[in-house]
A and B are shown apart, each in its own frame.
Chain A
Amino acid sequence: MSYILETRDLTQVYGAGTPFERTALDHVNIQVEKGEILGVIGHTGSGKSTLIQHFNGLLKPTSGEVLLSGHSIWDAKGKCDRKTRFAVGLVFQYPEYQLFEETIAKDIAFGPQNMGLSATEVEKRVREAMDFVGLDPALANHSPFALSGGQKRRVAIAGVIAMRPQVLILDEPTAGLDPAGRDEILAQIQDYHARSGATILIVSHSMEDIARMADRLLVMNRAHVMLCGTPREVFAHADEIARAGLDIPEITKVIRELNRRGIELDPSIYTVEDAVRAIRAYKEGK
């Protein structure tokens, strides 16, 4: 089976040959399965932001390969087809700061128009994308700049969704939002995943946020892949994760503390629901 996205010994060196030389990615090998939600976790400077810019050809590898559906995104002449950008949609951090059009509809239409779609198709995509992110269709002709921060972010996400990418990558989609705003955006992304079947990559430095919804987690540390697997598999290495400067959920810490005190509970628990279930099972098993 071929993967939708794959990297082979992907290496990125910034400022090669200068005193500021820095390796952001060091022989990274990743396989992304079609239709999955993959959480990418790492602290600032771990290489995760560099990694996602390779997936749609915004950056060119120093060495190694990036494959989309089994084909290298860079051709023999060293060019990356613009179609890659449409197949792999990338939503940057604080995407609301890239809005520029007079109306919400026009802004969302920017991507589809660049794809060279017909006016009716563009319009259809805009409506569909607004629906996906839960924007009221009546807002279509309003200025995006009059919206609240959270709503502006939805417009920006819709602008990428409207290109109907096979893979949607979101860099810190919840940055700066309050708990309610965070939950809404995450629910919307899950809903989009269920309805479109697209492959989704979410980058975050918050384990708690994405552990819940991701099928698999990828932990980046110092330009390398530190861990990759289901949330359970990853959280079984909670100590390593903490040493890499990442937060592990408080509830995992509680379970680990109980383990230390000789109470046997599954150390890879990362949600409150699972913890409650495990505690009840333990009590009843006694």
Chain B
Amino acid sequence: MLRDITIGQYFPGTSVVHRTDPRLKLVLVIAMIVTLFLASGPVSYALLALYILSVIKISGIQPKMVVRGLKPVVFIVAFTALLNLFYTPGTELWSFGILHITDQGIRVAILMVVRILLLIIGTSMLTYTTSPIELTDGLEMLLSPFKKVHLPVHELAMMMSIALRFIPTLIEETEKIIAAQKARGADFESGNLVQRARAMVPILVPLFISAFRRADELAIAMECRLYRGDVGRTRMKQMKFGAVDALTGTVSVIVFAAVIVLGRFGW
């Protein structure tokens, strides 16, 4: 049950999208988000949608998976669509009480839905095709200039990767504790909100104690393996910005530029 929760799901693969330098992917995703907000008409959105669809196609990830990833946001998308549909001023087409549908409303609602969907699909392509560790490393390297202003970039990246390492372990542990407390007759399914919240105590207390114990032991183990922060550290895996990356980058920049230009003209 808890195993179904997957944070930053990753589908391993060997496609060009998978092999692209994670730093470039990160930058491109940010650029894509900016572009998305500068697009304004059907043409510019269509171009960007075409770009994202090509990325999905090249990555070899099943479109079914991508659609499944949208499930949790269906409500937000629908809500945004309705809000825009009813509250955008313009030529009134239909009205009922305080609800008014305008021609502008329809246009804005559709574009808004497309915008949110593209945003979510685009960003999830990053996590679908990049392993968490590559992502953290990429982020650390991209942010490394900020070390000069004493931003603890390395520490943040380390925290992220340790969290990723321990999420499955703690999920497994939680399941064990839940089973153990159920065996003592604990009831997590009935009662009102307060009772249910109280029922969580026998799960949370052991889980916290265990997490702290693990943290303590891990810290000692890390020190024994000569960890002393960022001092004189090297990395086994070097990120290489290759020809494929250059090509991917160029194509993407051209597409984004085109979208922005089209957007300026309101297309």
- Which A residues form the contact surface with B (CB < 8 A)? 53, 56, 58, 82, 85-86, 89-92, 95, 97-100, 110-111, 114-115, 145, 159-160, 163
B212 to chain A, nearest CB (A): 11
B195 to chain A, nearest CB (A): 12
The answer to whether A85 touches B185 (Cβ under 8 A) is yes
B219 at the A/B interface (Cβ < 8 Å)? no
The answer to whether A56 touches B177 (Cβ under 8 A) is no
B172 at the A/B interface (Cβ < 8 Å)? no
B57 at the A/B interface (Cβ < 8 Å)? no
Which residues of B lie under 8 Å from residue A90 when comparing CB positions? Answer: 180, 183
B214 to chain A, nearest CB (A): 11
The answer to whether B187 touches A97 (Cβ under 8 A) is no
B91 at the A/B interface (Cβ < 8 Å)? no
B149 at the A/B interface (Cβ < 8 Å)? no
The answer to whether B187 touches A114 (Cβ under 8 A) is yes
Which residues of A lie under 8 Å from residue B7 when comparing CB positions? Answer: none
The answer to whether A53 touches B184 (Cβ under 8 A) is no
B203 to chain A, nearest CB (A): 8
The answer to whether B187 touches A98 (Cβ under 8 A) is no
* 13 A/B residue pairs, CB under 8 Å, sorted by A: A82-B187, A92-B176, A92-B179, A97-B177, A97-B206, A97-B209, A98-B180, A98-B184, A100-B202, A115-B185, A159-B184, A163-B184, A163-B185
Which residues of B lie under 8 Å from residue A82 when comparing CB positions? Answer: 185, 187
Residues of chain B in range 164-193 having any CB-CB distance to chain A below 8 Å: 173, 176-177, 179-187
B2 at the A/B interface (Cβ < 8 Å)? no
The answer to whether B206 touches A99 (Cβ under 8 A) is yes
The answer to whether B183 touches A85 (Cβ under 8 A) is yes
| Interface of B, helix, strand, loop or mixed by DSSP | helix
The answer to whether A160 touches B210 (Cβ under 8 A) is no
Q: Report the count of interface residues on B (CB-CB < 8 A).
A: 18
> What 0/1 readout, one digit per residue, does chain B (200-240) give for beta carbons within 8 Å of chain A?
01100110011000000000000000000000000000000
Cα distance A86–B187 in the bound complex, in angstroms: 13
Which residues of A lie under 8 Å from residue B173 when comparing CB positions? Answer: 97
The answer to whether A58 touches B206 (Cβ under 8 A) is no
Residues of chain B in range 110-130 having any CB-CB distance to chain A below 8 Å: none
The answer to whether B186 touches A114 (Cβ under 8 A) is yes
B68 to chain A, nearest CB (A): 14
Which residues of A lie under 8 Å from residue B205 when comparing CB positions? Answer: 100
B267 to chain A, nearest CB (A): 45
The answer to whether B185 touches A114 (Cβ under 8 A) is yes
Cα distance A12–B36 in the bound complex, in angstroms: 49
Q: Which residue in chain B gives the minimum CB-CB distance to A160?
A: B184
Known contacts A92-B176, A97-B177, A100-B201; A160/B206 CB under 8 A: no
Known contacts A97-B210, A99-B206, A100-B206; A58/B183 CB under 8 A: yes
The answer to whether A58 touches B182 (Cβ under 8 A) is yes
A244 to chain B, nearest CB (A): 26
The answer to whether A145 touches B209 (Cβ under 8 A) is yes
Cα distance A114–B185 in the bound complex, in angstroms: 6
Cα distance A216–B170 in the bound complex, in angstroms: 36
